[in-house]
Amino acid sequence: MNKIVLLLFIFISSSLMAQKRSSNDNFIVQIKKATGDLNKDNLDDLVIVTQDTIDKKAPYKLSVFFAHPNGAFKEIISTTKAIDPQYPEGKDGYYNGQSFYDIAIEKGILTIKNELTRGNFEHKFRYQNTNFELIGFSETYSDGQGTMGTVDFNLSTGIRVSTTERYDDSDEKPTRSQKKILIRPLPKLQHFTPFTTEFY
């Protein structure tokens, strides 16, 4: 009886380890890479986006590595939530009109860039309070019917500015609205999923 229980335990453990290993190891296609100092130690850190091309949704994984003086890198964050999969509903499913296209590190800010069918949007993260926190969201879009809009949301200050403008021959005047929306605590990169709220 004890041998059966032991064999069953070994089988289950092996299966779980194999599943875990295969789910992690499938993110082997490197899509984008960016370097730059994220934690103000004068060392170039590393951010890599990899993709699981075996999964029918083709999800992305974003990994952040801090550099050490000896040239080594230590993984700080690894998340599959921050970037939507290439095919959220599978390759034959509904296309939601947005797609990942780049990452960048500029002045210590990590930016995740996405394209829309008619426009683009960005999420900006800064390393502060021992976490990567969302400090900015911006979007430029068109409704395809003569109107272009922009959103610029500074989450640090809470100031969110929205504009709309006609790009056809309409005499309609541009609009601009400003609101103060404080989001506290600021969203952390390891838990972040885009567009889970109406604001970002």
**For residue 189, with 0-12 CB atoms within 10 Å meaning exposed, 13-18 middle and 19 or more buried, which class applies?**
buried
- DSSP line for the chain: -HHHHHHHHHHHHHHHHHHHHHHHHTEEEEEEEEEE-SSSSSS-EEEEEEEESSSTT--EEEEEEEE-TTS-EEEEEEESSSS--SSTT-TTS---SEEEEEEEEETTEEEEEEEETTEEEEEEEEEETTEEEEEEEEEEEE-SSSEEEEEEEETTTTEEEEEEEE-SS--PPPEEEEEE---SSPPBGGG--TTSSS--
Q: Give the domain ranges of the chain.
A: 26-191
Which pLDDT tens digits describe the chain residue by residue (200 residues)? 544 433 333 344 444 444 444 445 799 999 999 999 999 999 999 999 999 999 999 999 999 999 999 999 999 999 999 999 999 988 887 777 789 999 999 999 999 999 999 999 999 999 999 999 999 999 999 988 899 999 999 999 999 999 999 988 778 899 999 999 999 999 999 999 999 999 99
pTM of the model: 0.85
Residue showing tokens 């490197």: 30
